[in-house]
């Protein structure tokens, strides 16, 4: 069963055996942690429920004690509690102690043990993307709590040098000094952000792995960036922005424009949550389960709406109206392909055949999945039929099937010569045959089905907006 966020509904059966998990923070209204942990419990069949608890600094001590008395299995701690909560723990992991921050509390005898799964999550993200830091030079932009966790991970994974750039040198010096002392290595070097050009002298044809750990570029300030100098980005091999909203920050875009790979912090968020869940339950979560959770997170963050359905169902018309209503961008996959190819779909079919065009559709979905968010996407009628496209659609956003009756399609497309698959005689037979083939696939890949025959556009848009919001 689909939910309003474009994923599977989480089925919670709360009873006397249900264990509670939670989040301590202020504020907690926009946290994605419930999506991670409740999805894990649902998929794995664990009788556990994760709940955000709005907890003030003044009430933190009582909240931790009360949680233990209430037999709460485990908790996360977020801002502003990651440092203060340490004094309320009976034990702390070595990594968390070195970083000076805790984000995960695991129930043990007499209280809770603290861990920092942020740096563990980032480490697992790098492993998944095949990024090695061993004997590499890294740059950290920022010197806050997140930068400290990144610094610990860089040293633990074998970085050769780590440059910490910050607007005020004192904070960068503090992290560098603490980490050099902890690891008994002189690899961390503080640099005043205004002096970033000093990195050019350290380049020596060996590109940097750069971590963007500040809040600069966070939505709605999408066009803000710490360093706005294309020469700097020419020195980058891999850029990782801990921000995930927007899905593609300006930092990431500048990295890619200069030939570097770029990733956001969504998988870090995923894996820090998964690692916390593993600690609470003493289990190991398989990567296919992680992918299920990640796809659900993608839909929550990016809020893309994908319209599928047979030709003539109104995807362009409805898409335009929905985009206008929500203030989203609008993208027609067929028009996008035509622009990229420099010719019409009909010409592509005539010159290179349908198979070539279907491959173009798949390549386009992969490209869109790398960056696009808050967009209504209208697809070609045959796009969902290719198995390779199903996974891309699930990651891209909430899939809405606009279901139209054959007779309505025939009426709408009468005299249309732009659709290659409907050329020739006996259009009615072709429409019915294609719809019989495609309808089961449309239904299986859609998060929601909206009938459109005999309904005006406003009515359809009202229903669709209610679903996605």
> Is the CB of residue 101 less than 8 Å from the CB of residue 81?
no
* C-alpha–C-alpha distance, residues 88 and 103, integer Å: 13
Q: Sheet harboring 261-263: ordered strands across?
A: 188-192, 161-166, 137-141, 208-212, 236-241, 261-263
Place of tokens 């600690």: 279
> Is the CB of residue 345 less than 8 Å from the CB of residue 420?
yes
Query: Does the annotation count 82 as an active-site position?
Result: yes
- What the block records as the tokens of 100 is 């000076």
> Is the CB of residue 378 less than 8 Å from the CB of residue 333?
yes
DSSP 197-209: GGHHHH-TT-PEE
DSSP 117-149: HHHHHHHHHHHHTT---TT-EEEEE--SHHHHH
Q: How far is CA 76 from the centre of its chain?
A: 20
* C-alpha–C-alpha distance, residues 53 and 439, integer Å: 44
> Is the CB of residue 54 less than 8 Å from the CB of residue 82?
no
> Is the CB of residue 380 less than 8 Å from the CB of residue 334?
yes
* C-alpha–C-alpha distance, residues 146 and 212, integer Å: 10
Question: Which of 17, 61, 82, 160 is an active site residue?
Answer: 82
* C-alpha–C-alpha distance, residues 131 and 384, integer Å: 32
| CA nearest neighbour of 96 among 87, 86, 88, 106 | 86
Place of tokens 């007779």: 407
Whole-angstrom CA distances from 312 to 272, 318, 407, 411, 445 are: 45, 11, 11, 9, 19
Residues serving a catalytic function are 82
């Amino acid at each position: 069963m689909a939910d309003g966020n474009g994923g599977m509904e989480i089925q919670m059966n709360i009873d006397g055996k249900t264990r509670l998990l939670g989040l301590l923070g202020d504020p907690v209204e926009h946290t994605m942690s419930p999506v991670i942990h409740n999805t894990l419990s649902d998929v794995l069949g664990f009788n556990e429920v994760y709940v955000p608890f709005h907890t003030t600094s003044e009430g933190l001590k009582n909240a931790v004690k009360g949680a233990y008395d209430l037999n709460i299995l485990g908790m996360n701690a977020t801002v502003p509690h990651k440092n203060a909560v340490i004094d309320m723990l009976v034990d702390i992991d070595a990594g968390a102690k070195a970083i000076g921050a805790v984000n995960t509390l695991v129930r043990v005898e007499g209280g809770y043990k603290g861990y920092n799964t942020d740096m563990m999550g980032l480490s697992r993200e790098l492993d998944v993307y095949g990024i090695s830091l061993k004997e590499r030079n890294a740059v950290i932009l920022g010197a806050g709590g997140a930068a400290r966790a990144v610094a610990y991970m860089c040293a633990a994974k074998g970085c050769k040098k780590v440059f910490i750039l910050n607007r005020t040198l004192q904070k960068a010096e503090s992290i560098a000094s603490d980490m050099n002392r902890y690891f008994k290595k002189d690899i961390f070097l503080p640099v005043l952000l205004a002096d970033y050009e000093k990195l050019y002298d350290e380049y020596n044809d060996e590109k940097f792995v750069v971590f963007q750990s500040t809040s600069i570029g966070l939505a709605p300030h999408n066009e803000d960036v710490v360093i706005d100098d294309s020469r700097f980005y020419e020195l980058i091999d891999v850029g990782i922005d801990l921000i995930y909203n927007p899905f593609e920050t300006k930092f990431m875009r500048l990295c890619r424009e200069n030939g570097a790979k770029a990733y956001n912090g969504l998988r870090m968020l995923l894996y820090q949550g998964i690692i916390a869940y593993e600690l609470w339950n003493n289990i190991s979560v398989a990567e296919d389960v992680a992918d299920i959770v990640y796809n659900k997170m993608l839909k929550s963050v990016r809020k893309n709406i994908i319209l599928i359905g047979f030709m003539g169902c109104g995807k362009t018309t409805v898409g335009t109206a929905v985009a206008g209503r929500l203030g989203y961008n609008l993208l027609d996959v067929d028009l996008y392909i035509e622009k990229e190819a420099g010719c019409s779909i009909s010409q592509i079919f005539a010159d290179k055949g349908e198979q070539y065009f279907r491959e173009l559709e798949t390549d386009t979905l992969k490209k869109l999945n790398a960056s696009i968010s808050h967009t209504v996407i209208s697809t070609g009628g045959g796009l969902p039929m290719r198995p390779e496209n199903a996974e891309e659609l699930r990651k891209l956003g909430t899939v809405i099937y606009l279901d139209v009756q054959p007779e309505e399609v025939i009426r709408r497309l009468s005299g249309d010569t732009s659709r290659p698959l409907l050329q020739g005689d006996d259009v009615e037979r072709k429409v019915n045959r294609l719809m019989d083939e495609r309808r089961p696939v449309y239904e299986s890949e859609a998060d929601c089905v909206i009938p459109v025959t005999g309904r005006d556009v406003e009515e359809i848009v009202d229903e669709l907006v209610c679903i996605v919001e």
